[in-house]
Every structure is written in C-alpha cells, then in structure tokens.
Amino acid sequence: MSNRTLSPPQTDASKQVTINLGERSYDIWIAEYCDAHWGSLLTLPTGSAALIVTNEVVGPLYADQLGRQLSQIYPAVHTLFLPDGEEFKDWRTLELIYNTLLSHGCDRKTVLYALGGGVVGDMTGFAAATYMRGVRFVQVPTTLLAQVDSSVGGKTAINHPLGKNMIGSFHQPQLVVCDLSTLATLPLRELRSGLAEVLKYGPIASMEFMEWLEVSVEKVLAYDLVALSHCVRRSCEIKAWVVSQDEREGGVRAILNFGHTFGHAIEAGVGYGVWLHGEGIAAGMVMAAELSQRLGMVDDAFVDRLTRLIKRAGLPTKGPILDATDNAGRYLELMRVDKKSDAGEIRFVLIDGPGTAVLRTAPDKLVREVIDACCA
Ligand code: NAD
Ligand code: GLY
C-alpha cells in the first residue's frame, strides 16, 4: 500500500525514533506540532477513509485540528468520541468502534487514528487488529504515558473484570506521532502517572537515564518542553531497542513490565480507574525492588534511591490495603492471573543489579513479607 508525503519535516525540534521490525518497522515522530501543519509534516498512510477514535475529553481539544489535516488526504474522515476512563476499556466500548466503522461502510483500506491516551490507543489498536481481520492504524498519543510507552510496540488490549489487559493482540501501528504541545493540557496527576512509566526505564535498562531523571524530575513536572522532549525520546529509544529484539514478549520484552505485576493487582483490586495506571506501577516498582533486595539482587541503597525518586515525582510508594483480613493473599490471588504467570506460578520482573532486569519466580512467603512491608 502506498504512502503520501505532502512536504518534508519543517521543524528542527522534530525527533525521530525507528522501531525495527522488518516489514512492520515504523517511525515515532516526536515534536511540537502546535501549528496547523501537523499532517503536512509527516508521511501518513493513504486509504479510503480515516476514522479518528478519541474521547470526550481529548476530542474537543484536538480532533478538529487532526480532522482538518486528514481531510487533505482521505476521501472521508469520521470521528468517534468514546466515554473517558479506564473503566470504559471494555467490550462494550470496543463495540462502539466496530459499530461506527460498519455504519459508515468502512472497508479494509480504512486507517484508524487513535487520538488520546493509552486507553484510547489500546482500544483503537485492538479494533484495528480485528476489524475485517486487520486494518492499519496510526497512534497520536496525547498523554505522557502514551508517548513514552503505550503507543509504541503494538500491544493492544481491553480489560476483563477478572484481569487487566487480558483480551488483546499484537498489532503494530503504521506511525506514532508524539505531539509534545498536547501535553500542555494534561492534568498534573496524569503527567505524574506517565512519569512512572518513564522512571521504569532507568532501573531496567539505563542508569544514565535514571541519573538524568534524578537531576531533571522537577523540570518534567513543570512541563518544561526540553525536559519532556528528552524524556519522550529517551524512553522511546529504550522501548524501541527492547521491542525490536522481542516483538511478542517471548523473552526480554517482559522487562518493560517492571512494577506491573504488583501494579496491575492494585488497579484491578481497587477497581479500574480509582488508582491511575502509573500510580499502581509506581507502588509496584517499589515492591518489585524490595523483592529484588530480599532475594539478594540489589542492595538497600538502590531500593532507597528508587523510592526517593518515585516520591519526588509525587507518586505513591506504598500499595493500598486490598483486603483487611488477608491483604497479601488478595494480592497473590490477583497476581496469579498476570499474563507472565506460568502454570499458576507468578513471575516477577526483578532488578538484577542497577540497570538490569530479569524475569523470575519468588517464594510466596517472601512475596507476602514484601506486600506486608509495602502496603499502608
Ligand atoms: P488515559 O488514556 O485514561 O488518559 C488519562 C486521562 O487524560 C484521561 O482522562 C484522558 O481523557 C486525559 N487526556 C489525555 N490526553 C489529554 C490531553 N492532552 N489533555 C488533557 N487531558 C488528556 O490514561 P493513560 O495514562 O494515557 O494510559 C493508561 C492506559 O495505558 C492503561 O489502560 C494501560 O493499561 C495502558 N498501557 C498500555 C501499554 C501498551 O504497551 N499497550 C503500556 C502502558 C500502559
Ligand atoms: N508496556 C509494556 C510493553 O509494551 O511491553
């Protein structure tokens, strides 16, 4: 299928990272596209129609602007506003996307545009993976979390009441466009949540990035564009490096789930949308680091250092109590449905010395001790 370039990139601020996956390779563009020329700066996939999938918060801010750009390229451009929130990342909301595609007679050459955070991105990606057995899609992430993580790498999913992201598929986008100017409207709590996914990249892959964050975290929280640009670019580079080695999480890609085994249990345990994804991951990273320390893989000083950084980011360092009578038991129950579990055995991403992560099991007794120590 052909692509059309309207004109070459015009901004020096633009940064490009490539995900190398053979014929599924694609670029991540990182820039401040606040001018009206958004679509003209990039090579967008051509097609018979475009469907912008957004939500009722992001849509009113950015959908018109994107729609105007896309109408220069596609014969028809439709827009769908989904309800906003993690609690709507489910079958019922997904069906709204299929309904819209079918009612407009959209064919296999339709291109979906996911305009929003990770919730919109994951659902649009899953709809693209499954509509007519697969159509193309472009990620236009508008949260820090989506720009540094969820829009990149092709994981798509919806939640099930019994487990987070349990129904989904791998489906790579054609392109990711991180428009840094959209972060200006992102609430601070959401920025902090995204920062949790940024913070994970240091302990698992790059101590140099962790050191940069130790110097720069306040600048990121102040929406400093230079700091945000570095954050997004470095995170995407690390994620691209991991995903290019292991697209379908047969091995090394699992390290990107540092903090997620505990974090997903928190999200499901308190009810989707009560704790933000990044908040669960933040407390989960402290628990995973603590477990690593108790297994003799890192020292106390490293756990303290990571905990301090998470605290400075304004993120929780303790998990919630999920069950007043057997809190650790409830966490264990929720963690057993984790996708990394193997024959009912929970596998954790643990820090094997600063800057290196591994996937391994741990005795329940030790995990219980960690949960008891890390929940309040
Ligand atoms: P989100 O999509 O719910 O967005 C957070 C909030 O910010 C929402 O209310 C949204 O409407 C609003 N918002 C988005 N952009 C905005 C903007 N520019 N200005 C103002 N408001 C804006 O949450 P998220 O943190 O972006 O994503 C979390 C989801 O991502 C979770 O479901 C998680 O499972 C998923 N995730 C997926 C992957 C992956 O690899 N696919 C990785 C990490 C997380
Ligand atoms: N967010 C984890 C992954 O993409 O693998």
Each residue of 131-174: pLDDT tens digit? 999 999 999 999 999 999 999 999 999 999 888 899 999 999 99
CA dihedral sign, ordered 53, 58, 64, 67: negative
CA-CA distance, 372 to 319, in Å (whole number)? 10
Low-confidence ranges of the chain (pLDDT < 50): 1-13
Q: Does domain 199-374 sit in CATH 1.20.1090.10?
A: yes
Beta carbon of 338 within 6 Å of any ligand 1 atom? no
- Dihedral of CA atoms 81, 87, 91, 95 in degrees, nearest 10, equals -10
Q: Which CATH number fits domain 15-185: 3.40.50.1970, 1.10.3370.10, 3.40.50.880, 3.40.1160.10?
A: 3.40.50.1970
CA–centroid distance, residue 40 to ligand 2 (Å) = 30
CA–centroid distance, residue 97 to ligand 2 (Å) = 23
Percent of all residues in the chain with a pLDDT value above 70, rounded to a whole number: 94
pLDDT score, position 1? 39
pLDDT score, position 338? 84
Taking the CB of residue 309, how many other CB atoms lie within 10 A of it? 21
Residue-averaged pLDDT of the chain:
93
pLDDT score, position 2? 41
pLDDT score, position 5? 34
Catalytic residue numbers read: 133, 155, 197, 239, 249, 253, 257, 260, 264, 277
- Ligand 1 nearest atom to the CA of residue 276, by list position: 25
CA–centroid distance, residue 7 to ligand 2 (Å) = 33
pLDDT score, position 227? 95
Percent of all residues in the chain with a pLDDT value above 90, rounded to a whole number: 87
Enumerate the CATH 3.40.50.1970 domain ranges in the chain, comma separated.
15-185
Global confidence as pTM: 0.94
Enumerate the CATH 1.20.1090.10 domain ranges in the chain, comma separated.
199-374
| Minimal-distance CA residue to ligand 1 atom 39 | 150
| Minimal-distance CA residue to ligand 1 atom 36 | 150
Nearest CA-CA partner of 117 in 178, 65, 167: 178
Beta carbon of 39 within 6 Å of any ligand 2 atom? no
* Both structure tokens of 142: 């508008």
| Minimal-distance CA residue to ligand 1 atom 32 | 119
CA–centroid distance, residue 152 to ligand 1 (Å) = 13
Q: What single letter denotes the amino acid at residue 44? A: L
pLDDT score, position 33? 65
- Ligand 1 nearest atom to the CA of residue 61, by list position: 19
